């Protein structure tokens, strides 16, 4: 087992290295690609969440065996490092291990990772997903912004993944909310599902808005391709 791996395809746009800690994720995003990637039953994936067997020991072995150091490691692609309602002490152990070997982490969550902020420093990234969907109410957005603000106050780098964007109006509102809190945003389209959004127009507008607000941004390749049409 090699828990630390190099993502391929669209996933590579998020990081050169990644590690997946849990077997599933309770957040039930309708667009979640992970059950397909893992060839798992969707309901089972969302309802049965536990640390992957031996994940801490195997990570420790791989770090030592391959002398992995100085890397930025994304947590996680096929799960959330902070699955809401579950014990996340394994995430803490993994972060400690990666950093002991001189690596940094790039966290992306829809949960709450504040319990581990004491482990992070200015070489680490703490990110939240804002998909701008119907469940993205003002209180939820505020909760996400609070996490970003706390991370930033501690000197941790912050980022927001606006992928997939589900609602243009909500996106514009949320981008304004995180302006000044996020050191970087990544913006991507909804893939594999129908959407009423004109992606070319949306991407050009989003880019102009980021420039106007002075936000460092990255447009995902599939959205960039629509903008060129
Ligand atoms: S947070 Fe990520 S892993 Fe979890 S259900 Fe949503 S898309 Fe899937």
Which residues face 75 on adjacent strands?
Answer: 107
The CATH architecture that domain 134-229 belongs to is 3-Layer(aba) Sandwich (3.40)
pLDDT in tens, 51-84: 999 999 999 999 999 999 999 999 999 999 999 9
Q: Give the atom of ligand 1 at the shortest distance from the alpha carbon of 27.
A: 5
Residue 134 pLDDT > 70, yes or no?
Answer: no
Residue 132 pLDDT > 80, yes or no?
Answer: no
Residue 129: pLDDT band with limits 50, 70, 90: very high
Q: Which two tokens stand for residue 141?
A: 């957005």
Residue 140 pLDDT > 80, yes or no?
Answer: no
Q: Give the atom of ligand 1 at the shortest distance from the alpha carbon of 110.
A: 1
Locate the domains of the chain by residue range.
Answer: 1-119, 134-229
What H or E segment, with its residue span, contains residue 186? Answer: strand 184-187
Provide the H-helix boundaries in 154-191: 168-178
pLDDT in tens, 161-219: 999 999 999 999 999 999 999 999 999 999 999 999 999 999 999 999 999 999 999 99
pTM of the model: 0.96
Distance from Cα 34 to the centre of ligand 1, integer Å: 7
Residue 85: the pLDDT is 96
Residue 135: the pLDDT is 60
CA 76 – CA 100 distance, rounded (Å): 19
- Lining ligand 1 with CB less than 6 A are 25, 27-29, 32, 34, 79-80, 110
- pLDDT > 90: what percent of the chain? 89
Pocket mutation for ligand 1, best pick of 23, 25, 140 (most atoms within 8 Å of C-beta): 25
Q: Which two tokens stand for residue 84?
A: 């809401």
pLDDT in tens, 141-163: 888 999 999 999 999 999 999 99
- Contact (CB, 8 A) for 70 and 94: no
The pLDDT of 128-149, averaged and rounded, is 82
């Amino acid at each position: 087992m090699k828990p630390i791996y190099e993502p391929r395809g669209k996933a590579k746009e998020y990081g050169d290295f990644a590690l997946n800690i849990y077997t599933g994720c309770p957040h039930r995003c309708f667009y979640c690609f992970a059950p397909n990637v893992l060839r798992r039953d969707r309901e089972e994936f969302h309802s049965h969440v536990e640390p992957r067997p031996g994940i801490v020991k195997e990570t420790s072995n791989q770090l030592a065996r391959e002398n992995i150091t100085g890397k930025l490691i994304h947590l996680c692609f096929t799960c959330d490092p902070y699955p809401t309602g579950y014990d996340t002490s394994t995430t803490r152990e993994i972060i400690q291990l990666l950093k002991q070997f001189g690596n940094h982490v790039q966290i992306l969550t829809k949960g709450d990772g504040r319990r581990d902020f004491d482990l992070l420093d200015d070489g680490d990234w703490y990110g939240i997903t804002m998909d701008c969907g119907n469940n993205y109410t003002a209180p939820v957005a505020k909760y996400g912004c609070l996490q970003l603000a706390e991370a930033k106050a501690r000197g941790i780098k912050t980022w927001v993944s606006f992928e997939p964007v589900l609602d243009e109006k909500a996106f514009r509102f949320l981008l304004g909310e995180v302006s000044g809190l996020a050191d970087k945003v990544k913006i991507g389209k909804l893939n594999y599902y129908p959407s009423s959004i004109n992606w070319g127009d949306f991407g050009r507008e989003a880019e102009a808005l980021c420039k106007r607000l002075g936000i460092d941004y990255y447009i995902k390749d599939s959205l960039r391709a629509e903008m060129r049409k």
